[in-house]
Amino acid sequence: MWEQRVFGNERGICGIVSEPDDRRRDKDLVIALAGLAQPMSEKNDVFTDLRKMATEKNCHFVQFDYYGHGDSRGDFHEVNYSTMAYDARLVAKKMIHEIAPARIIFVANGLGGLIAYDTARYLARSNKKLPFCLILISVPVLRASHYGTLFSERGIEWLRTYGRADMKSLVPGNDYALFSDFSLKQLEYFWELGSHIMNLHGLEISLEFLKQLDRIDARGALDSYSHGRKYLIYGDKSGQSSLYNDISVSSKCLLQDVDYFYERCETKDTLINYVDWAIGNNRKFAFR
C-alpha cells in the first residue's frame, strides 16, 4: 500500500510512502534520494521499481522531491546543497518517529549519495543504536571542475552580479539526444551529480549552490563513513571508475558497458537486482 504525503508544512515536500503488508516493528526503512534536479520518479522510473521491490521485501519505503524540485514547493534558484540535506533530514526524522525502524537504508543517486552520507551521520547522533546502510549509485567522488573554470566569463560575471543564472545560458546547447552542440566538460559535471541537462534547462541555479558544491570533500566523506555498511554501484565506463576501485565498501556492483545505469535497459534491471540483494545482505549484519 502506498500513499502520497507532504512533509513539512512550510516547505511542502511532496513524497510517496509505501508500507509492507506485514507491519511488524522489526522492519527496514528504505529512503530513496534522487540526484540534482532529478524528480523522484525519473531516470527510467528506477525509484518506482525499487519501491515495488522493497515493499515486497517487507520494507517501508519513502521517496520525495527536494524543495524546488518536482512537485514540491519552491523554485530551483532557492535550492542549494544545504537545503537538499535539510529536506532529507526532515523526511527521515518524520519516518523514524512514525515507524521506529530496525534499520535504515539509503538508496541514493548522484549527489543524493553525498546527502545520504550527511543524513546518516546527522541521524546517528541521536539514534546511536540504529544501523544505517548506504547504497550509492554513481556517487560523485572527485569533482574535477569548479564553477570558476566551468562556465564562460560572461556567465560567471552574471552569477557574481545577480547571484543566480539561467542554466540554458550557462550550458548552451539544443541537441539533447547526441549532445553534439554541448560542452562535454559541462555535461559531465552535471551528469556526475545525477542530472540530465534537459531537466536543468529552463531552471536558474544559484551561485551559492555552485560554491557549496566546490567545497564538498566527497572522497573524505565516503572514506570516513562509520555508521554501517555501504554498497557502491557504478558503470565500468565511468570516468571515476578508478577512484571507485579504491574506496573501501562492503560490496560493489559494476554495470557493464555504461557510464550511468540509465543508458541501457538491462543495466537498470541489474541495479534493481543488486539493491534487492544488498538489502538482504545488510539484514545479516545490521542488528539493533
11-25, 63-77, 125-139 — which is least confidently predicted?
A: 11-25
Tell me 177's DSSP state: T
Mean per-residue pLDDT of the chain? 91
Is residue 288 scored above 50 in pLDDT?
no
Residue ranges per structural domain of the chain = 2-142+216-285, 147-210
Q: Does 262 have pLDDT greater than 80?
A: yes
Using pLDDT thresholds of 50, 70 and 90, give the confidence band for residue 144: low
- Residue range 27-44: mean pLDDT, rounded: 85
Q: What is the CATH number assigned to the segment(s) 2-142+216-285?
A: 3.40.50.1820
Please report the pLDDT score of residue 118 as a whole number: 95
Q: Judge whether 266 and 98 are in contact, CB under 8 Å.
A: no
Model pTM?
Answer: 0.94
Q: Which residues of 207-246 are buried (b: 16+ CB within 10 A; e: fewer)?
A: bbbbebbeeeebbebbeebebbbbbbbbbeebebeebbee
265 — pLDDT class (breaks 50, 70, 90): confident
